[in-house]
Amino acid sequence: MHLRDLTQFLAELSENNNRPWFIMNKPRYDILRAEFLDLVTTLIADMARVDPLLADCNPKKALFRINRDMRFSHVKIPYKTTFSAAIIPNGLKKPSDGGGPSYYFQIDAYGTLLVAGGEYMPPADRLRLIRHHVIDDAAGFHKMLKNKAFRKRFGGLQQEGKLTRPPKGFDAAEPQIEMIKLKNFIAWTETKLDINAPELLERELAQTFKDVLPLVQWLRQA
């Protein structure tokens, strides 16, 4: 993956986020997307060794489109300024559409790599299952959170968007209530890429995904 070319393209796109510019630079985008697809393909094969459920994941389905959905957005810019992918066993659904726990990463114009794992904004029925799983398997849940590699890499689950009150149907006196208030069960981390050493990207991604594997596996039990 030519990281210097990718970040340069995304930086220029950020300044010229319009259809005419994108059409003029479509050949550059096509080359970069093909390289990104190769990266995701290799990453899936690597991860399938430790997470066999990923073996049938379609790399093309894992990539997010660069076109933005502007139907419900107040920001009327047509293109995303990141390259991103979500690796899920079925390879078909986004995590927010009920695809279950996923591995996610994105690269932006500044060379920032964001890597995440878990479930972001799961639908209501799925979120209810996860919350009950926290209660039913409290010991397993906290064992996962205390996993040495997971804790060192991520620190814990993200607390953003946490409810201030217990969700409907859950007792405020429940010992796990603070975790039940979470709306996302996800861990993420950001690092600055060395664009002069693109060979390190795949290694960084694979190791970070392996570190978040305990969370992914626990969520699959829900």
Backbone φ/ψ region at 87: left (φ over 0), alpha (ψ -120 to 50), beta: beta
The answer, yes or no, to whether residue 97 has pLDDT greater than 60, is no
User: What span, in angstroms and rounded, lies between the C-alpha atoms of 107 and 82?
Assistant: 5
Which whole number is the average pLDDT over 85-113? 81
Q: Spell out a b/e string for 26-54, using b for 16 or more CB atoms within 10 Å of the CB, else e.
A: eebbeebeebbeebbeebbebbbeebeeb
Give me the percent of the chain exceeding a pLDDT of 70. 94
Tell me, what's the pLDDT at 92? 54
Region 127-136: what's the mean pLDDT? 97
Mean pLDDT of the chain: 92
Q: Which residues pair with 102 in a beta bridge?
A: 118
95 has a pLDDT exceeding 70: no
Q: List, for residues 7-27, the tens digit of each pLDDT value.
A: 999 999 999 999 999 999 999
Query: 168-217 pLDDT, tens per residue?
Result: 999 999 999 999 999 999 999 999 999 888 888 999 999 999 999 999 99
Q: What is the pLDDT of residue 36?
A: 97
